[in-house]
């Protein structure tokens, strides 16, 4: 049955530019966040038993505050990971959105039509950046175009509903990869909730995390040279953070002087080692050398060299920007 709550006079759905993977702990949950200054409740679809389906389950739209059950229809997701007879994860295609406002429905409708409606796309792009940087899967921008639209919002005022269309089309190229060895596939509910909080606060993902994922994606596409170059850049940023945090406790001017002198990846690795930063073994041979060869000599690293460089970078980035400091326990954890 639809919820009888009345504190959300506007609700609707958002069709994602590309699906993303969540584990079972996130399905059906609601999360409080903000779209700029407007409070927003985001709800993921739920897993519902359906005997008409061959696998017995369907990823269905959530319960609505105002609308009757199954009022929208359409695809909301796909069940995945059938290990126990129940879906352990799902690809999410749509989100339910609910807005709370003290203004009357006409003002809210105008606000959505002329402001917050068209801002849903950049809002999701910000969420997507965090999922890409910290989740256990990511998207590319080099595959077949996927056409999407924002969706629809229904405004309720004195039991008189007003339908507001928020169509917004954009070509977005997508592809998703699952990280190997994850204990559970997809984002947990806690991970997604933290991401929405970071987005609401306007915080961007650490650049070295974003670059690490870009390097991993280049590796997945077979571009070893770009993967090593980007991994080296991510490592440089991470090492600079580590060195600065080690030295600034003494004096910021000393940190500035050292970092000005010890530029380039190999020098930063040497300085970090001198300062007692516990870097992974082989950082110079496995990361700095192949990266410099790729940049300055145009060489193409082997698969072994490329994966070794990314592995070293991943360890260095985990030192400079541990997920725990962002309030994230790591992908796949409940």
Cα 120 → chain centroid: 15
149 CA to centre of own chain: 19
Q: Write the CA distances from 31 to 39, 43, 116, 321, 323, integer angstroms.
A: 11, 6, 18, 25, 20
- At 199 the pLDDT is 92
Q: What is the mean pLDDT of residues 186-212?
A: 90
The overall average pLDDT reported for the chain is: 75
Average pLDDT of the segment spanning 277-285:
84
The answer to whether residue 310 scores a pLDDT higher than 80 is: yes
Q: 102 vs 278, which has greater pLDDT?
A: 278
More confident residue, 129 or 250: 129
pLDDT of residue 148: 42
Tell me, what's the pLDDT at 87?
80
- pLDDT of res. 149: 45
Joined together, the tokens standing for residue 54 give 């061959």
pLDDT for 167 equals 52
Kindly report the number of other CB atoms within 10 A of residue 176's CB atom.
Answer: 15
Q: Measure Cα distances from 252 to 71, 246, 259, 293, 327 in Å.
A: 59, 10, 11, 33, 27
Query: Who wins on pLDDT, 155 or 242?
Result: 242
The whole-number pLDDT of residue 123 equals: 85
* More confident position, 199 or 35: 199
Domains and their CATH numbers in the chain:
10-203 (no CATH), 209-326 (1.20.120)
The per-residue pLDDT for range 289-299, each reduced to its tens digit, is: 888 888 888 88
pLDDT at 334: 35
Task: Report how far residue 101's alpha carbon sits from residue 37's, in angstroms, rounded to the nearest whole number.
Answer: 11
Q: What is the pLDDT of residue 207?
A: 93
- Which pLDDT value is given to residue 176? 39
Highest mean pLDDT among 19-33, 137-151, 157-171: 19-33
Q: Does residue 265 surpass a pLDDT of 50? A: yes
What's residue 139's pLDDT? Answer: 42
State mean pLDDT over 167-171.
Answer: 44
Query: Considering the chain, what percentage of its residues have pLDDT values greater than 90?
Result: 18
pLDDT for the residue 282:
84
Rounded to an integer, the average pLDDT of 32-40 is 84
105 versus 116: the higher-pLDDT residue is 116
Which of 124-128, 185-189, 251-255, 313-317 has the least mean pLDDT?
251-255
Share of the chain above pLDDT 70, in %: 67
Q: How far is CA 226 from CA 218, 300, 304, in A?
A: 6, 9, 14
Is the confidence at residue 269, as pLDDT, over 90? no
Does 159 score more than 80 pLDDT? no
- pLDDT for the residue numbered 138: 44
pLDDT of residue 105: 47
Confidence band for 162, pLDDT divided at 50, 70 and 90: low
């Amino acid at each position: 049955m639809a919820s009888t709550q009345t504190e959300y006079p506007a609700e609707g759905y958002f069709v994602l530019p590309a699906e993303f993977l969540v584990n079972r702990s996130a399905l059906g949950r609601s999360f409080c966040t903000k779209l700029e200054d407007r409070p927003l409740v985001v709800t993921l679809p739920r897993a519902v038993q359906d005997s008409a389906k061959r696998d017995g389950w369907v990823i269905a739209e959530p319960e609505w505050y105002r609308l009757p059950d199954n009022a929208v229809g359409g695809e909301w997701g796909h069940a995945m990971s059938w290990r126990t007879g129940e879906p352990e994860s799902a690809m999410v295609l749509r989100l339910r959105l609910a807005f709370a406002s003290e203004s009357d429905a006409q003002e809210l409708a105008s606000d959505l039509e002329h402001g917050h409606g068209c801002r849903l796309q950049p809002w999701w792009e910000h969420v997507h950046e965090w999922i890409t940087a910290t989740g256990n899967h990511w998207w590319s921008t080099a595959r077949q175009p996927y056409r999407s639209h924002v969706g629809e919002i229904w405004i309720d005022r004195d039991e008189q509903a007003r339908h507001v269309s928020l169509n917004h089309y954009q070509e977005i190229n997508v592809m998703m990869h699952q990280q190997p060895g994850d204990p559970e596939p997809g984002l947990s509910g806690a991970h997604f909730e933290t991401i929405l909080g970071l987005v609401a606060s306007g915080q961007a993902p650490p650049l070295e995390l974003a670059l690490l994922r870009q390097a991993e994606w280049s590796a997945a596409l077979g571009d070893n040279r770009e993967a090593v170059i980007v991994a080296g850049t991510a490592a440089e940023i991470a090492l600079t953070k580590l060195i600065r945090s080690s030295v600034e406790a003494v004096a910021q001017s000393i940190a500035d002087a050292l970092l000005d002198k010890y530029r380039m990846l190999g020098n930063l690795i040497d300085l970090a080692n001198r300062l007692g930063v516990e870097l992974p073994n082989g950082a110079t041979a496995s990361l700095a050398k192949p990266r410099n060869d790729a940049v300055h000599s145009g060489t193409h690293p082997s698969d072994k060299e490329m994966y070794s460089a990314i592995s070293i970078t991943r360890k260095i980035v985990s030192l400079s920007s541990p997920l725990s400091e962002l309030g994230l326990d790591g992908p796949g954890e409940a």
